[in-house]
């Protein structure tokens, strides 16, 4: 609008043939003043609108033993047309968020003067907020990531006679929430029955906090173990560009995965939208068993075989849509459903990681996703996530080059952290560790 006024001024100047500089300046000033007035009027309008809207926020909090259904049903009762509107909210959010609720987490609903849902807000952690807003075209999902502060700490220790690994990790100041993760990384490389007193380890952890210093998450960036019998081992955290890449894991400097005999992931990017087991539909409250894992992914994303095997099913039905089943050497069977297309036929031999189809939304499905199921040799559905899964046994090509850069960076980070002042490892111990803020 400002531009328009300015252009009108220019047009007026041209029409009158006036080219005196003062007049131009005066007109420009006038136009600036007008646009300032328009801005202030617009903000007045926004304020008045807000009051007229009479919107207010209602909320409800997760109690012990509750799932999303309980919280949604209390909210449903407080808004007009709650079943329908919150149902639409759920449809908008379901492919992006897995509701794994913790006691005290809160759902917020903004309602308008008619008590109809305008906005839904739920934070999965202090820095990740999921929002569903009502727009002219329906309910639309968006995600807000707030800034985090990162701290790196180096923990070093020596195994002692009669101490457990977890015990010693805790003793050197590693926060309890990270002990299991650190020990998992170490145990991938080190056979602990062969570890001996005097063996040394060094760990670089990175913790993220929000601005109020609430812990958001932690990662093992580096783990080193030097043992008399087991030898010297190092593990580096590799990060692909996408934080959901299935390649994000620990590797040796040579690019070998710490675990090398796991299943391959069926997708390169992992976004679980529904996990295995009995689930209660958050809106309808219906209980259903879910015999696999749902991964949200864009339409057409390549689906990979998780292990070597022979295709035993490649077909279509109204429920599963395009589906493929692969029987593996140990008689377990992996299942891939709702695909847009299938790339293999019955009887085909497939290798681990081979493309076997593309993500779709065929059969009974609300949006593009892969339903991935796994049957054991006895024919029972098991939780696929109970299997060890890896992206690759070895990083190659561009990914290996990226790892090498990251290894050099991690070594630099260890030096920097070791050169930082020692401070108390955490609130529950007097152990001092080297710690620094990362930018
Ligand atoms: Zn599913």
60 DSSP β-pair partners: 107
The whole-number pLDDT of residue 85 equals 94
* Statement to judge: residues 46 and 64 lie in one domain: no
Q: Work out the average pLDDT over 273-284.
A: 85
Give the DSSP letter string of 133-145.
EEETTEEEEEEEE
In the reported structure, the alpha carbon of residue 6 is separated from the centroid of ligand 1 by a whole-number distance in angstroms of: 57
Query: Any idea which of 221-235, 278-292, 308-322, 397-411 has the lowest mean pLDDT?
Result: 278-292
**What distance in angstroms lies between residue 298's CA and the mean position of ligand 1's atoms?**
15
How do 277-280 and 287-290 pair as beta strands? antiparallel
Alpha carbon dihedral 261, 267, 272, 276, in 10-degree steps, equals -60
Residues 402 and 345 in one domain: no
Phi-psi sector, 223: left (phi>0), alpha (psi -120 to 50), beta: beta
What spacing in Å lies between the alpha carbon of 70 and ligand 1's midpoint? 22
Residue 267 falls inside a structural domain? no
Asked if 127 and 157 sit in the same domain, the reply is no
Give the distance from CA 320 to its chain's centroid: 26
pLDDT at residue number 401: 98
The reply to whether 120 and 17 lie within a common domain is no
Structure confidence at residue 10 (pLDDT): 37
Q: Is the pTM of this model over 0.85?
A: no
Q: Check whether residue 280 and residue 257 sit in a common domain.
A: no
Which one has a higher pLDDT value, 130 or 14? 130
Task: State the distance from the centre of ligand 1 to the C-alpha of 287, rounded, in angstroms.
Answer: 14
Whether 178 is in a domain gets the answer yes
* pLDDT confidence of residue 24: 59
- The CA distance from 78 to 88, in Å, is 16
For 297-309, what is the mean pLDDT? 96
Output the CA 416–ligand 1 centroid distance in Å: 46
pLDDT, tens digit, 9 for 90 and up, residues 30-72? 766 676 677 667 767 666 665 556 788 999 999 998 888 999 9
Distance, in Å, from the CA atom of 117 to the CA atom of 111, rounded to the nearest integer, reads 5
**Does 23 lie in the same domain as 112?**
no
Summarised one tens digit per residue, pLDDT across range 95-106 is 788 888 889 899
Residues 256 and 404 placed together within one structural domain of the fold: yes
Structural domain count of the chain: 4
**From the CA of 392, how far away is ligand 1's center (Å)?**
24
Distance 315 CA to ligand 1 centre (A): 17
Tell me whether residue 334 is in a domain: yes
Find the domain containing 24 and state its range: 2-53
The secondary element (H helix, E strand) that includes residue 154 is: strand 149-158
Task: Give domain status of residue 245, yes or no.
Answer: yes
Picking from 97, 126, 145, the residue at the C-terminal end of a domain is 145
Q: Which of 103, 126, 145 is the last residue of a domain?
A: 145
Domain stop point among 348, 367, 387? 387
Q: Which distant-in-sequence residues (6+ apart) come within 8 Å of 233 by Cβ?
A: 189, 190, 224, 225, 226, 252
**CA-CA distance, 174 to 168, in Å (whole number)?**
9
User: Is there a single domain that holds both residue 288 and residue 367?
Assistant: yes
The rounded Å distance from CA 273 to ligand 1 centre is: 9
What is the 419 CA–ligand 1 centroid distance (Å)? Answer: 49
Is the per-residue pLDDT at 432 higher than 50?
yes
- Domain membership of residue 327 (yes or no) is yes
Tell me, yes or no, whether 108 and 194 share the same domain.
no
Percent of the chain with pLDDT over 90: 61
On whether residue 431 sits in a domain, the answer given is: yes
Residue 9 lies in a domain: yes
The pLDDT value recorded for residue 3 is: 46
Mean pLDDT of 216-245: 94
CATH number, domain of 107, equals 3.10.450.350
CATH code, domain carrying 336: 2.70.70.10
> In whole angstroms, what is the distance from residue 380 CA to residue 331 CA?
12
Residue 29 falls within a domain, yes or no? Answer: yes
Are 356 and 253 part of one and the same domain? Answer: no
User: What's the pLDDT band for 273 if we cut at 50, 70, 90?
Assistant: confident
Rounded distance, CA 249 to CA 221, Å? 10
How many C-beta neighbours within 10 Å does residue 164 have? 11
Same-domain pairing of 18 and 121: no
- Rounded average pLDDT over 183-204: 90
Angle, helices 21-53 vs 2-16, to 10°: value is 150
Query: What is the distance in A from the centroid of ligand 1 to the CA of 373?
Result: 8
Rounded to the nearest angstrom, the distance between the alpha carbon of 173 and the centre of ligand 1 is 41
What is the model's pLDDT at position 16? 35
Element (H, E) at 302: strand 302-304
Residue 317: beta bridge partners? 321
Q: How far apart are CA 417 and CA 423, in angstroms?
A: 12
Same domain, 281 and 382: yes
């Amino acid at each position: 609008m400002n531009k328009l006024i300015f252009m009108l001024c220019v047009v007026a100047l041209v029409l009158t043939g006036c080219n005196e500089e003062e007049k131009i300046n005066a007109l420009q000033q006038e136009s600036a003043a007008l646009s300032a007035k328009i801005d202030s009027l617009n903000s007045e309008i926004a304020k008045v609108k807000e009051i007229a809207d009479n919107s207010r926020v209602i909320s409800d909090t997760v109690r012990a033993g509750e799932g999303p259904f309980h919280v949604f049903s209390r909210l449903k009762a407080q808004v007009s047309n709650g079943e329908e509107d919150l149902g639409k909210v759920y449809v908008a959010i379901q492919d992006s968020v897995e509701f794994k609720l913790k006691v005290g987490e809160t759902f917020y609903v903004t309602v308008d003067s008619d008590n109809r849902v305008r906005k839904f807000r739920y934070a999965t952690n202090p820095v990740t907020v999921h929002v569903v807003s009502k727009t002219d075209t329906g309910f639309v999902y968006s995600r807000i990531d707030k800034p985090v502060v990162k701290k790196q700490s180096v923990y070093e220790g020596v195994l002692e006679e009669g101490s457990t690994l977890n015990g010693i990790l805790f003793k050197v100041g590693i926060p309890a929430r990270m002990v299991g993760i650190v020990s998992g990384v170490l145990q991938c490389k080190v056979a602990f029955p062969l570890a001996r007193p005097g063996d040394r380890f060094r760990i670089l952890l990175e913790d993220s906090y929000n601005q109020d210093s609430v812990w958001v998450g932690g990662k093992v960036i580096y783990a080193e173990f030097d043992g008399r019998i087991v030898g010297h081992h190092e593990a580096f955290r590799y990060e692909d560009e996408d934080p959901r890449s299935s390649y994000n894991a620990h590797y040796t400097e040579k690019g070998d995965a710490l675990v090398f005999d796991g299943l391959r992931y069926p997708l390169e990017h992992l976004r679980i939208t529904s996990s295995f087991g009995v689930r209660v539909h958050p809106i309808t409250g219906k209980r259903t068993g879910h015999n696999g894992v749902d991964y949200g992914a864009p339409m057409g994303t390549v689906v990979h075989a998780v292990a070597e095997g022979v295709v035993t099913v490649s077909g279509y039905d109204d429920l599963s849509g395009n589906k493929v089943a692969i029987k593996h050497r140990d008689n377990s069977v992996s299942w891939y459903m709702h695909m847009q297309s299938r790339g293999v036929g019955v009887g085909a031999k497939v290798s681990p990681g081979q493309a076997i189809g593309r993500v779709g939304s065929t059969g009974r499905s609300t949006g593009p996703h892969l339903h991935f199921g796994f049957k054991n040799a006895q024919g029972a559905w098991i939780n696929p996530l109970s299997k060890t899964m890896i992206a690759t046994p070895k990083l190659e090509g561009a990914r290996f080059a990226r790892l090498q850069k990251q290894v050099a960076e991690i070594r630099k980070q260890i030096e920097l952290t070791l050169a930082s002042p020692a401070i108390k490892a955490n609130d529950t111990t007097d152990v001092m560790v080297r710690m620094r803020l990362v930018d």
